[in-house]
Each structure stands twice: as C-alpha cells, then as structure tokens.
C-alpha cells in the first residue's frame, strides 16, 4: 500500500488532478447512463437509424456538392449535408408510406384469415403429433430417452429466451412518458447527429487525455465498421429472406404466403434461431392441406436457409460479425438474461464489437507492440497476435 501511495505522489501534481478529473467525469457519465438506461435505450434506435442512413446521406451530400460546384452556388454547397439528410428522411418516409399502403393491408387481411383458421391448424397439428407419438412408442427405450433429453434441453433453452425477453419488455413499458418523449425527439436527434457527427467526434477526442486519443479514435473506427456493416447487412437480409420465403411458399401453394414471408423477415433479426423458428408456422399451415405439402414447405424453408448462409450472408454481412453458431447461441441466452428482448437482439453485435476491441488491444499489448494504425489493420485482417502472460 505504501508503494502505491509513493507511486501516486511521484506523479506530477497537474497530471494527478487531470487523472482525478477524468475518472470522476467517467464515473458520472456511467452512473447517469445506467440510471436512465431504459429511456436512453430509445436513443439507441436513433443511433441505429443514423448508421443505416449514413451511406445514403454521404452519397446525397456528394451529389448535391457536385451540383453546387457546377452551378457555382456556395450556399447550396454549405447546405449539402443538411439537404442530403432531409432527402434521405423523405425517401424513408416514402418507403414507409408505400409499405403501409400496399403491403400492410394484404398482410392484415391474410393475418385475419390465418387467425380465423387457427383451430383447424391446431387440430391438424394435434393429429400429426398423435401420429408421431404412436410411431415414437415403437422405438427402443434407449432412443426414446435420448429424444426426451434433447427435447427437454431445447424447451428449456427457448423458454429462457422468451421469459427473459418478456420480462425485459415489460420493464421498459413502465417508463411510458419518458419513452414517448424520447420517440418524439428521435428524428431531430438523429438529424443533428448525422449533420454534426464530425464536430461531435472531434470534440470528444479533444476532451480525452492525449495519450489515449489515437487508440480511442481507432477503436471507434472498428466499432463503426462492425455496427454499420452488421445493421445494413441485417436489413438487407430481412428483406431478401422475407421475399424468398413468401415467393417459395406461394410457389408450392401454401396459404398466407405473404404473412409467412413477413414473419420470416422479422425473425431474421435473431441470428441462428430466427430462421428455424420462422419455418414452424409455414409447416403448420401447410399441414392443414396435406403432409406432403408440409414436407415441401420444410424443404423450401431449408432451401432458403442454405441460399442465405451460402451466398447471401458472406456477401452482405461479410466479416462484420463472423461468430460461430455455438458462440452465437450462448450469447443469445446471455443477452436475453441481461437485457430481455433488446439484449437478445443486440447480443450478437455487442459480442462482435467486444471481440474486435479485444483483438485490437491484444495487438497493442503484444510482446512486439505496434502502432494504433497497425493494430487496426491487423484486427481487420484477423492476424494472429502473441501475448505471453
């Protein structure tokens, strides 16, 4: 303890003051964020929207700037980014209006028809289950025991995710007024975030200790690369998978194909588990027609997953996440346990971000340390590091 106090007193007094100031500021910010985490969670939606719109805004800004240079209008040049954001907002609004005008009415109509047919679907599923039980009883006792253990494990796994997701969602609803206020502010907050991102970033770096500015800058680059790539890729995946599922089910004659496609697209937001769960409603609906159609529906759902995993995911998501399914499933349970439904959805991307930060710091603290620029390059290229403990 005396050695620690001696080390502290050997530090110049001004540096000690700066260290205390920085530590107190960090603790206050962390405390405020934790105390208002449910309300601030709404701002995460604005941050995700900013990530999705950033490439569009950049292209529009460049186009408006090029046009302003051609006509030599300086005012338009200065307003290029703001106009780009406004145009992107109008594009998103137009897409939403078109979606709710053209697609939603059909989905609602098919959804009502599907709900009206729920008893027939349940009766058919029950009959199918009884047939399976009759065949199951013919199996050897050892095989039956193994099947029961597998079903119990799967049931416990799914139950844990659903229970924690519902609990987290109900806890968030208790902050109704603050959430409504935050939702009202989000479009304006996102606008200023997109417009003044460069100034906000520079202001943040200017208030950090000089010794860590370069590392914070490059870590933020990695985080931006991972989150931006994942979100934009996931949005494309949801749209493409939803269209493929709806088209495939309609092609083989499964009723309510559009609703089933929307379900598949929405569940795509939950990696590894979502695509499998999305196949269950399609199979149950097809089962009301015939067992053969149910088998065809299962085959179409599996074909969509194969196409997704083999061709679409590597090109759309690339290495933005790159988590093994074993790790992914564990982190989904952990995310649901900690944060409910938001934790379930954000678990993969937060895991990928923490992985990249660990790799970056491992390169920086390696036996042969490298510069921040080299550490970023090695992290992106997934180069191995050496670290002796």
Q: What is the pLDDT of residues 178-189, one digit of tens each?
A: 556 656 777 888
CA distance 382 to 323: 13
Higher local confidence (pLDDT), 359 or 160: 359
Cα atoms in the Cβ-side hemisphere of radius 13 Å centred on 51: 20
* Helix (H/G/I), strand (E/B), else coil: 252: helix
Q: What is the pLDDT of residue 158?
A: 54
- CB of 219 within 8 A of CB of 372? no
Instruction: Give the pLDDT band of residue 142 (cuts 50, 70, 90).
Output: low
What percent of the chain is predicted at pLDDT more than 70?
A: 72
Is the Cα torsion angle 130, 140, 293, 299 positive or negative in sign?
positive
Tokens, residue 205: 């770096």
In this structure, what token pair is assigned to residue 101?
A: 């005008």
Q: How does pLDDT run across 302-320, given as a tens digit for each residue?
A: 898 888 877 777 666 655 5
What's residue 137's pLDDT?
61
For residues 358-370, average pLDDT: 81
Select, from the ranges 78-82, 166-170, 339-343, the one with the highest average predicted confidence (pLDDT).
Answer: 78-82
**Residue 304 backbone phi and psi in degrees, to 5:** -60, -40
| Greatest distance between any 2 Cα atoms in the chain | 84
What is the average per-residue pLDDT within 278-289?
A: 83
Q: Would the pLDDT of 9 be above 70?
A: no
**C-alpha span between 92 and 158 (Å, rounded):** 35
**165, pLDDT greater than 60:** no
Rounded mean pLDDT, 18-43: 75
Mean pLDDT of 193-221: 82
Q: Which of 180, 154, 165 is nearest to 336 (CA)?
A: 165
Q: Enumerate residues 6+ apart whose C-beta is below 8 A from 324.
A: none
pLDDT of residue 386: 54
CA nearest neighbour of 81 among 197, 224, 184: 197
Give the up-direction half-sphere exposure of residue 75: CA atoms within 13 A in the CB hemisphere: 0
In the block, residue with structure tokens 């599996």: 302
Query: What percent of the chain stands above pLDDT 90?
Result: 2
Most confident of 61-65, 71-75, 118-122, 326-330: 61-65
Does the pLDDT of residue 265 top 60, yes or no? yes
- Choose the weakest-confidence range: 118-122, 316-320, 361-365: 316-320
Mean pLDDT value across residues 57-81 = 85
Whether pTM > 0.85 for this model: the answer is no
Query: Residue 186 has what pLDDT?
Result: 78
Contacts of 359 (CB under 8 A, 6+ apart): 378, 379, 382, 385
């Amino acid at each position: 303890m005396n050695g620690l106090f001696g080390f502290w007193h050997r530090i110049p007094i001004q540096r000690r003051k700066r260290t205390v100031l920085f530590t107190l500021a960090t603790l206050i910010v962390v405390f405020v964020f934790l105390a208002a985490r449910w309300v601030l969670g709404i701002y995460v939606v604005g941050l995700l929207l900013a990530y999705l719109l950033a490439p569009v805004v950049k292209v529009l800004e460049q186009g408006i700037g090029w046009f302003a240079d051609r006509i030599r209008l300086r005012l338009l040049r200065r307003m290029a980014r703001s106009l780009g954001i406004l145009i992107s907002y109008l594009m998103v609004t137009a897409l939403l209006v078109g979606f709710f005008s053209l697609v939603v009415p059909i989905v609602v109509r098919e959804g009502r028809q599907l709900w009206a047919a729920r008893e027939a679907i349940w009766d058919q599923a029950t009959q199918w289950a009884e047939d399976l039980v009759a065949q199951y009883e013919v199996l050897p006792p050892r095989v039956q025991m193994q099947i029961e253990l597998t079903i119990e494990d799967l049931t416990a796994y799914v139950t844990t995710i659903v229970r924690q997701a519902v609990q987290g969602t109900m806890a968030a609803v208790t902050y109704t007024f603050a959430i409504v206020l935050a939702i009202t502010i989000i479009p304006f907050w996102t606008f200023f975030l997109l417009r003044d991102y460069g100034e906000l970033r520079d202001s943040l770096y200017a208030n950090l200790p000089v010794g860590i500015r370069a590392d914070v800058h490059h870590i933020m680059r990695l985080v931006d690369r991972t989150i931006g790539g994942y979100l934009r890729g996931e949005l494309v995946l949801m749209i493409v998978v939803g269209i493929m599922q709806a088209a495939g089910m309609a092609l083989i004659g499964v009723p309510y194909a559009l609703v089933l496609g929307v379900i598949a697209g929405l569940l795509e937001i939950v990696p590894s588990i979502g695509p499998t769960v999305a196949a269950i409603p399609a199979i149950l609906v097809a089962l009301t027609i015939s067992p053969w159609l149910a088998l065809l529906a299962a085959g179409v759902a599996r074909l969509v997953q194969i196409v997704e995993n083999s061709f679409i995911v590597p090109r759309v998501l690339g290495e933005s996440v790159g988590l093994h399914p074993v790790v992914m499933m564990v982190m989904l349970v952990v995310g649901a346990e900690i944060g409910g439904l938001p934790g379930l959805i954000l678990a993969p991307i937060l895991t990928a971000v923490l992985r990249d930060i660990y790799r970056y710091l491992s390169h920086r603290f390696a036996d042969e340390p490298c510069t921040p620029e080299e550490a970023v390059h090695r992290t992106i290229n997934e180069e191995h590091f050496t670290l002796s403990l």
